Amino acid sequence: MHNTASKSSVLMIQGTASDVGKSILTAALCRIFVEDGWRTAPFKSQNMSLNSYITWDGKEIGRAQGVQADACRIIATTDMNPILLKPKQDMVAQVVVHGKPYADLDARTYRESYLSQAEGIVKEALERLRNEHEIVVLEGAGSPAEVNLKDRDIVNMRLAGWADAPVLLVADIDRGGVFASIVGTLEILTQEERDRVQGFIINKFRGDVSLLKPGLDWLEERTGKPVLGVIPYLPQLGIEDEDSASLDSKRAQNQKFSSPNGKHPDQLDIAVLRLPRLSNFTDFDPLQEEPDVHFRYIEHLAEWGEPDVVLLPGSKNTMADLLYLRESGLAERIHSFARTEKGFVIGICAGYQMLGETLSDPGRYESDYEELQGLGLLPTATVFTADKRTVRVHGFSTLFADAGEALPIKGYEIHMGRTHVREESGAPFQITEVANGLPHHADGAASEDGRVWGTYIHGILHNDDFRRAWLNDIRMHRGLLPISQGLRFLERREAAFDRLAAHVRANLDMQRIYEMMRIEMRTKKGGKFQ
């Protein structure tokens, strides 16, 4: 029984609330379908996230859809997330349409004036994906039961109706009240919407599943719908989180597994400033996997401790977060740490801008301030401009390389400011390949001793050889022996997708899911799918 329509089969994952695991389960299903021989793509019509992913052609989409495309082993495109909302301040977000900034809109204006236009954009993007792939896995947003949003919904049940997609409803049992959240969600849906829900997935379960069976039996009898799987909690996924909402749980998990005195003697203590408007925190994911790194976030001065390294991350509003550092006392502490204590300080994107001498915004593109003094740790001056630079880059760095050698690097830039470095010849990074055909250029700045450096390159720490050379440089300054064989992060990430897919497949009724999608479950014989 194969779907004879020209378009692909579809499946939609919705949740009883935000952060119940929709994005990760979508990635898992994407990898499972690919393993089963289906050309698969992810889709989320509208995503709200500060954690961006840059596509091959320099466009900006939600990080989750980029990760899901990686799970599908395909190149991400803006059709996978045609509308991205990036919060800038209370009730105002930058609206990014097909990867390019469209406008800054408040919630009311977006809802009342733009959503009708967004419908056509969403439908056209999904149509293109369905014509190019055999399966498209749709991800909803938040909860489909938000009664105040349902009439203009473009991301949950109305989207499922447009696509004629069967819906699997995901609930997080780790939060408590899992049965109430499922039944309550169904009660708020219309009869047509309830009929579209084909089954439930209970996520993040801890314990003996047999003890849950009476509740599962009650739920199936009460709703007339099957529980398709109970997914046990899987710690240390090794796959990027979508947004900063997940940082609290990650932070608690890191603290749980830390040694009683904070770090082992052979580890480096690396602290990231958790800025109020932090973005692209996945820049630091490899550090959390390195065995010789004790990784943590600093939100307040009282949490400073005794770090070896302090990292300043990206921000959606650099000027506002710079003021936060000054008002909280962290700015003065960072300066003393770098200048007096000879600590290591690194800035990425907005963090790089903050490390400089001045930040100017004469056009008020990002803030209400014409100019602010930076932290003064690098000889740079930044001016904010109207155009946003989003591009994938490749190049090299000699910053921590052996004499006469260079370390290959790749990543992406996404920023509105342009930074001038007084000592241009001393730039630590050279960009030699730019996806959009932009000119080759130098990037970043560094102190003479390499203790303080900054770059616009997101993902710089995902480059295994560069990251290990940098960590070993710090280790030697701290009197520790260098490590020759460090983490191979990208290899581990690919293995993490396989591990996640195997975990979900073992606990999910894939046969029934294929039946809901009206396609046959494939088997592999002699290296070929049948």
Using CA atoms, how far residue 64 sits from 35, 68, 330, 463, 481, in Å, is 20, 6, 31, 20, 37
**30 flagged as catalytic:** no
Conformational region of residue 413, where left means phi above 0, alpha means psi within -120 to 50, and beta covers everything else: beta
**Could you give the CA distance from residue 508 to residue 493 in angstroms, rounded to a whole number?**
22
Which helix (H) or strand (E) element contains residue 383? strand 380-397
Report how far apart, in Å, the C-alpha atoms of 475 and of each of 98, 308, 344, 402, 450 are: 43, 9, 11, 16, 13
Q: State the CB neighbour count (10 A cutoff) for residue 289.
A: 17
Catalytic residue among 30, 98, 294, 349: 349
> Catalytic residue at 72?
no
Q: Residues near 282 by Cβ (< 8 Å), separated by ≥ 6? A: 51, 63, 240, 241
Distance CA 390, CA 85 (A): 16
- Give CA–CA dist 283/366, Å, rounded: 22
258, HSE (Cβ side, Cα atoms, 13 Å): 18
Round the CA-based radius of gyration of the chain to a whole number and report it: 24
Are 251 and 508 in contact, with CB atoms under 8 Å apart?
no
For 459-507, the three-class secondary structure string (H helix, E strand, C coil) is CHHHCHHHHHHHHHHHHHHCCCCCCCCCCCHHHHHHHHHHHHHHHHHHC
Give which of 268, 309, 286, 239 is closest to 462, Cα–Cα. Answer: 286
Q: Which of 458, 462, 477, 503 is an active site residue?
A: 458
User: Which residue blocks in 4-114 are alpha helix, DSSP H?
Assistant: 22-35, 63-72, 107-109
Give 482's Cβ-side CA count (13 Å radius): 13
Report, as residue numbers or ranges, the catalytic residues. 349, 458
